[in-house]
Amino acid sequence: AQTVTQSQPEMSVQEAETVTLSCTYDTSESDYYLFWYKQPPSRQMILVIRQEAYKQQNATENRFSVNFQKAAKSFSLKISDSQLGDAAMYFCAYRSPSGNTPLVFGKGTRLSVIA
Amino acid sequence: GAVVSQHPSRVICKSGTSVKIECRSLDFQATTMFWYRQFPKQSLMLMATSNEGSKATYEQGVEKDKFLINHASLTLSTLTVTSAHPEDSSFYICSARDSPLDEQFFGPGTRLTVL
């Protein structure tokens, strides 16, 4: 079974600075998908970024980018120019290639942004 | 992106009663939906996978007679908590898979409080 590990329960960053959230995973599959989700106080899950394992290029969405290291099974999220609205729980998630399989979530990292 | 709704958003019930939570995909058809449970300050825990027209697949440790799941149409899945007890109090989140987009979209969640 696949597992996802987020080793940082809490992180903080100064507004406008950059922060990196760590995520490692374990799988025997060669093809899969990785995700970062944001859960603000409203508790609505919001997709931040998605990475297909077969793609070597790291995904980027505006201020959010990932560092995907397939051999190391590492998938970190970098948030640049942090904003107050970035404060939330961030979950790393894994999904097998079949779309009918559920997401496997890490325990989450609570990010605080300091003004 | 696609929209998933949940109803009700909050429910308070007495111990021993049953509560039904609806999950609807509003602008796409979802053959597969997932039900998660989230305790305070914890990650999402998968309860079951709901497939339209067939029986749900429950995760180990989840009582299928207590958490009844029905996926009777391509846009609606329901979770019924039967004979609810205070320990069933939690935040319940559904997600629905949009096959063409190969992406899962989350509902806003339902907070259940059992007195």
Per-residue pLDDT band for A93 (boundaries 50, 70, 90) equals very high
Is there a contact between B112 and B15 (Cβ–Cβ < 8 Å)?
Answer: no
Residues of B in contact with A110 (CB under 8 A): 41
Instruction: With a cut of 70, say whether residue B12 has pLDDT above it.
Output: yes
Instruction: With a cut of 70, say whether residue B1 has pLDDT above it.
Output: no
Is there a contact between A47 and A37 (Cβ–Cβ < 8 Å)?
Answer: yes
Q: Which is nearest to B100 in space by CA: B11, B27, B41?
A: B27
**pLDDT tens-digit profile of A23-63?**
999 999 999 999 999 999 999 999 999 999 999 899 999 99
- The residue-averaged pLDDT of B20-45 equals 94
Q: Distance (Å, rounded) from C-alpha B38 to C-alpha A15?
A: 29
Is there a contact between B62 and B47 (Cβ–Cβ < 8 Å)?
Answer: yes
pLDDT at B72: 83
pLDDT at B39: 92
pLDDT at A79: 98
- The residue-averaged pLDDT of A56-84 equals 97
Q: Please indicate if any CB of chain B lies within 8 Å of the CB of A100.
A: yes
Nearest to A106 among B34, B43, B103 (CB): B43
Smallest CA–CA distance, residue A41 to chain B, in Å, is: 11
Per-residue pLDDT band for A1 (boundaries 50, 70, 90) equals confident
